[in-house]
Structure 1
Amino acid sequence: MTIFGKKLSAAVIASALACSATQAQADVTTLTFEIINKTSGPIILNSSRWDKALAEPGFFDVDPLSEHSFEANYRTNFGYPRKTPATLREVISYAWGNRECTFTTELRVTQSFGLLRPTVTAVRSASATSTGVEDVMCHARVTEKTDDVPLNYSVQFSMG
């Protein structure tokens, strides 16, 4: 291959990589929470890293034997190349008296080399633990997901 051919090949590969990097830069990943209250009393959002002052008072609370859904948007960056996996992790807890459930969800994104764009692999998880003074049943699961960037998904958390 001539020097000109080598430089042309390098330029084509570099521009393909640059295009794939700009396509997958900053996105907004939407995480939908469905909170199910199976108790006989209201459950209250006890802790999260959200600024609860931005929502109406009681917005996150769930009445007895009912459910409430809401969305949270996270600025994500799955730019290429990336040496370490990108991780989005959210931990929230709901309480009813001395009973509390701590719910965790995580989106872990890894990338591998692709000719025109990176191969993105996303793994989502959800878990629940009873963390109050009194035990209570806690359950978590991923209910819906998309395989395309920005990798939106839904989780269902239940208490009681």
Structure 2
Amino acid sequence: MSDSGPRWHIHAATLDDVNSLVALEERCFDYSRMGARSFRRLLTGTSAHIYVCNNESGELAGYYLLLTRKNSLRWRLYSIAIAPEARGTGLGRMLLEHSIHTAQKHGAISLGLEVKVDNSAAIRLYEKLNFAVIDLLPGYYDDGTDGYRMRVSFTGSTNQENR
């Protein structure tokens, strides 16, 4: 995260960020996009942690969404998106590291995610940060693409993870 310098600013999302989040979803994904209503519901609920990253001009450069369940120590990285012009700058890694730190800070024992099997850049990044493929998800995405379920454990024991 030291690579970030002053050009990125990560902070918890607010309702004021909803339109920018929806616009970024449109730019980044051609499947399973979230709309304003979903973002508003998540921002006002207790099961989501949404962080946004603005560039030095104040424009939304990326975001991530973590989901939790009551009484669960397993967290889920539901979505992470980087604006096309910010890809390759280290922002994806910085947001992923921030999401891991956020989950750990709140007591999570693991962080899971799903990723398209053909998204090799994302898979490489996840593997660099100790995520491992734990399941193949045939036809998981709206367009019929298979997915991988990946997880990183924050404990040395897999027994705790089954809680």
Q: Shorter-chain TM-score: which interval?
A: under 0.3
Which structure has the highest strand share of the two? 1
**Structure possessing the higher relative contact order (Cα contacts under 8 Å, 6 or more residues apart):** 1
In our comparison, the structure showing a higher alpha carbon Rg is 1
Which structure has the highest helix share of the two? 2
TM-score for the superposition, normalised by structure 2:
0.26
